[in-house]
Amino acid sequence: MIGMVATLAFAAPAAAAQYAGIVVDAKTGKVLYSEDADALRYPASLTKMMTLYLTFEALEAGKIRLDSRVPFSKNAASEPPTKLGVGAGKSITVEQAILGLITRSANDAATALGELLGGSEERFTRIMTQKARALGMTRTVYRNANGLPNTAQVTTARDQARLGIALRQHFPQYYHYFSVTSFRLGKQVIRGHNRLLGSVRGVDGIKTGYTRASGYNLVSSAVADGRSVVGVVMGGRSGAARDQQMRKLLAAYMPKASRRGSGDLIAETRDAPTLSADSAAAVASIDLPESGPIPTYRYNEARIETAYAATESKAEIVGKRALAATLKLQREAAVPQEEVTGEGDADVDELTTSAVKADPTPSGWVIQIGATPDRDQAQKLLAKAQDQGGKALSRATPFTVAVASDNGQLYRARFGGFGDQDRAAAACKALKRKGFACWASQQ
- The answer to the question of residue 146 being in a domain is yes
Report the b/e string of 351-368 with b at 16+ CB within 10 A: bbeeeeebbebbebbbbb
What's the alpha-carbon Rg for the chain, to the nearest Å?
23
Average pLDDT over residues 218-228: 93
pLDDT at 443: 61
- Whether the predicted pLDDT of 350 surpasses 60: no
Q: In whole angstroms, what is the distance from residue 19 CA to residue 17 CA?
A: 7
Helix ranges restricted to H, 107-259: 107-118, 121-134, 157-170, 239-253
Q: Is the domain of 250 the same as that of 322?
A: no
State pLDDT tens for residues 45-57: 999 999 999 999 9
Residue 413 sits in the same domain as residue 369:
yes
Count CB atoms within 10 A of the CB of residue 143: 22
Looking at residue 59, what is its pLDDT?
95
Domain final residue pick, 230, 257, 284:
284
Residue 271: predicted pLDDT: 46
pTM value > 0.95: no
269 and 146 share one domain: yes
pLDDT class of 439 with cuts at 50, 70, 90: confident
DSSP structure string for 6-33: HHHHTPPPPSSS--EEEEEETTT--EEE
Do 209 and 77 fall into the same domain?
yes
Q: Which of 27, 48, 83, 131 is catalytic?
A: 48
Residue in 167, 127, 158 with CA at minimum distance from that of residue 234:
158
Closest C-alpha among 370, 385, 241, 356 to residue 302: 370
Phi, psi of 226 (to 5 degrees): 80, 5
pLDDT tens figures, 303-328: 334 334 333 333 333 444 444 544 44
Is 1 inside a domain boundary?
no
Has residue 141 got a pLDDT over 80? yes
Task: Tell me, yes or no, if 105 is annotated catalytic.
Answer: yes
Q: Burial letters for 221-255: b for 16+ Cβ neighbours within 10 Å, e otherwise?
A: bbbbeebbbbbbbbbbbbbbebbebbbebbeebbe
| pLDDT over 50 at 368, yes or no | yes
**Residue 260 maps to which CATH number?**
3.40.710.10
- With a CB cutoff of 8 Å and minimum separation 6, the contacts of 128 are 50, 51, 54, 142, 145
- Is residue 357 annotated as part of the catalytic site, yes or no? no
CB 58 within 8 A of CB 64: yes
Does 207 count as an annotated binding residue?
yes
Q: Is residue 236 part of a domain?
A: yes
Cα(399)–Cα(386) distance, integer angstroms: 12
Q: Is 404 left (phi over 0), alpha (psi -120 to 50) or beta?
A: beta
Residue 2 belongs to some domain of the structure: no
Q: Whole-number mean pLDDT of the chain?
A: 77
Domain total in the chain: 2
Candidate from 154-163, 168-177, 326-335 with smallest mean pLDDT: 326-335
DSSP letter at 179 equals G
Q: How many CB atoms lie within 10 A of CB 327?
A: 17
Q: What mean pLDDT do residues 337-366 have?
A: 40
Of 222, 207, 403, which Cα lies nearest the Cα of 305? 403
Please compute the mean of the pLDDT values over residues 207-230 and round it to a whole number. 94
Q: For residue 178, which of 204, 139, 144 has the smallest C-alpha distance?
A: 204
What pLDDT shows up at residue 357? 33
> Based on the domain organization, do 211 and 326 belong to the same domain?
no
Q: Residues 271-290: what's their mean pLDDT?
A: 43
Query: What pLDDT score does 354 carry?
Result: 27
Helix/strand/coil percent split, the chain, to 5: 40, 20, 40
48 in active site? yes
Catalytic residue among 45, 214, 228, 279: 45
Structural domain for 408, as ranges: 298-442
Q: Are 213 and 289 in contact (CB under 8 A)?
A: yes
pLDDT classification of 9: cutoffs 50, 70, 90: very low
**Residue 193 burial class via C-beta count within 10 angstroms: exposed 0-12, middle 13-18, buried 19 and up:** buried
Residue 280 has pLDDT above 60, yes or no: no
pLDDT at 440 over 90: no
pLDDT in tens, 76-133: 999 999 999 999 999 999 999 999 999 999 999 999 999 999 999 999 999 999 999 9
Of 27, 83, 105, 279, which residue is the catalytic one? 105
442 — pLDDT class (breaks 50, 70, 90): low
Is residue 168 classed as helix, strand or coil in its secondary structure?
helix
Instruction: For residue 412, give the nearest of 295, 297, 296, 306 by alpha carbon.
Output: 306
**Are the CB atoms for 336 and 376 separated by under 8 Å?**
no
Residue 289 inside a domain? The answer is no
Q: Tell which of 247, 262, 284 closes a domain.
A: 284
Contacts of residue 426, Cβ cutoff 8 Å, sequence gap at least 6: 392
Q: Same domain for 251 and 309?
A: no
* Shared-domain flag, residues 52 and 25: yes
Residue 31: closest CA among 157, 176, 119: 157
In this prediction, residues 10-15 reach a mean pLDDT of: 38
CATH number of the domain that residue 304 is part of:
3.30.70.1070
**Residue 57 three-state SS:** helix
> Rounded distance, CA 293 to CA 135, Å?
32
Lowest mean pLDDT: which of 87-91, 220-224, 238-242, 417-421? 417-421
